[in-house]
Structure 1
Amino acid sequence: MAKRERVMRMSVEQPLWRALAGYRVLTMMYAVGLFAAAYRSFARPWIAVGFFAVLVVWTLATLPRVASAAACTKRFLTADLTIALTGILLTPLVDDPDRVHAGGPTLPSIWTAGSVLAFAIKGGWRWAALASTLVAAANLIERGGPARDTVHNVILVWVASIAIGYVVEVARASERTLARALEIEAATRERERLARDIHDSVLQVLAMVQRRGAVIGGEAAELGRMAGEQEVALRTLVSGGLVPVSRVSEDAAQGAVVRAVEHDGDGTGDDDEPVDLRSLLAPYAGAQVSLAEPGAPVRLAPAAAREVAAAVGAALDNVRGHAGERARAWILVEDEPDEVIVTVRDDGPGIPEGRLAQAEGEGRLGVALSIRGRLRDLGGSADLISVPGQGTEVELKVPKETNHVNDPRGKAEQR
């Protein structure tokens, strides 16, 4: 069986980086436009022209730096904030003093907020508080005192940046929690899949060796006793095994990453074409098992068809194990427009009330995992009806649109 690793990346902050990149470009154009409109009012316009040349080149050249948290390094943040602070402190030297005291905009204007927001998205509210405090100090120095409009703007930037930084921290924590939950769910489903395979093969063989050994006697009886002990131990391990530790990794550039291993059917790669379920159920027919099927092919996705066939096999194993070798069984396949229904019925003694719950508690997972677990993973259902003395009927329903098996997220992006 071939394996394929599906990588699911989740990043709630990535849209923030894209928005920040757009914000920096727009605010750069806005600052240049303000300067161009008031060019004649500047006392030393050539100094302002030099600053805006640096601002434009820096903003456009560093767009890749604000594409992700990994690219936005501390060195870049420091240089970016330095340019913003320099522009603020240069304003009294190049602008008309009357405009400065009247509350005119600084050279970088609202472009400065982009630098503070980069700190917030990168490092959270603490980094945002540090950057906004430095900007506040520069604005107070530029105005020469705490003017009303300056204090208003400073507080607005300070509160907004800290709030955004806090939201980013909460989003990252939620992202990691979700990634761990998905990883645990994927690991649990993989353990259930392995438990089904073990039940369908190893446990069945051990149970058969135990029964035959008891009948033969002698050394075979001792071998059967040992097989029975191993069966009990293996059932206990399968039913109560530990879920592996989460393997969630954190990629600052792309967000949390969950890696889930999916299993392809036969490793040939030709696993997309629907298969005829009848061909997979035909081998079960025999002297004691009758198969009734439609005249036309019953097409299902390959993985779904294999799981349904395995569930039917598990149901027939239960018939042989609990109803006896001479018990008869009937398999009925119905091809409905939206789903496929497979019914397995036998003429055995039936299942006493409460026996299934008791068997599951003992680690006997034939019905819980090999039948119900398989259909649950396919998005279908498995209903068991049993009346003591009148046999047992297992009805399996699977939707035709089933595309993923053991996939905790459904249709996830594959990379």
Structure 2
Amino acid sequence: MIADHPEGRPALLPALAAMTWLQALVALALFAPGAVAPTANLDVPRLSMFSTAVFAVGVLTSLWTGGLINRIGSLRMASLCAVAVAASMAFAALGSGPALLVAGFCLGLAFGPETPASTALLGKLVTNERRALVFSVRQTGNQIGAVCGSLALPAIAIWLAPQWSYAAVGACAIGGIVVFEWLRPQYAGLTQAPRQLGMRARLALATSDRRIAALAAASMPFSGMQLALNTYFVTLGVRELGISHLEAGVALACAQAGGLFGRLGWGFLAMRIGAARLILVSLGLGMTLCAATFGFFGDDLGKAGQYALAAAFGLTASGWNGVFLAEVARLAPQDRIGETTGAVLTASYAGLLVTPVLISAVESFAGLAGAFVGLAILAFCGTVVLIRGDER
């Protein structure tokens, strides 16, 4: 059971719930501009500018996160991340391009540290046998935030104003601060985050094992695909699939619900059959097929078909993270799990950083549908790398 924890350690469940909430907050803020884009008149270049700012700052902050977590603890870091989320939403509510850029910078201060902070704490509380399942449960925070945002934020933007959507996210962040600070004394002194590594050391660590290097390489297009689904799908639906803003939000919620079930289901399956690599390969092929189908035939599917395909898209493109992190932890040297995770996540962040630029460039001459086809090709290439990287 997930509630189990090593003897002498604090309970796992409250820490898992808190770190899941943290990821939900960051996800909710990250997806907010894309969810309200049609009503707020946000075009693809401005959405890409926001996303690029988030991930650029996220990569930079990840370079010094480990040392700071060791000094202040994972839950105090969670509180600081929540403060950054609230500040980001305050700037986003202003609505201008420069304000959205600053909002992206602020959110990057939360995006970079939240995964290492969670890994550092949960890694000390979970047994090896339950690692894949616990990490997958924690990763469902991404889908919890995205489902709530996909359903609630477009409706709030339409019925009230986009500013109220951002205010709702900010209120959730303030509630998170209260919870994190309440739990913090129970886990004081437990966190042991990875030591600070420079970019060259991270590259060396990520490429020290062929299987880990393949995971890092595949995570770049996989992360990019997940970003595209979360950030641009509502705009794709309204602009090129012929559905309304609310209907596009429902379709995205179907995708995020698929991702929620996927993260739990894939983690449980990986724990049962011990074949995480095979599952990751299957998910790579699945997201490739879904993205290509939306790109080529999305407007011919009908609403029911679009909702069903969106759920399958989320099941694959948003369901891979927990199994991925658990596989990295399994392959890493046992005294350097946190450092190896941070090194591999740097590759994932690179994919997140490049994808908005790529989508903006392709969208300018082939539309968003063409951009999704391009991402499908990259995801297929990443899957091939993952297969070849496991060859002996």
Same fold (TM over 0.5): no
Per residue, is there more helix in 1 or in 2?
2
For CA contacts below 8 A with separation 6 or more, give which structure has more relative contact order: 2
TM-score by length of 2: 0.25
Higher-strand-fraction structure: 1
Give me the TM-score of the superposition, normalised by structure 1: 0.23
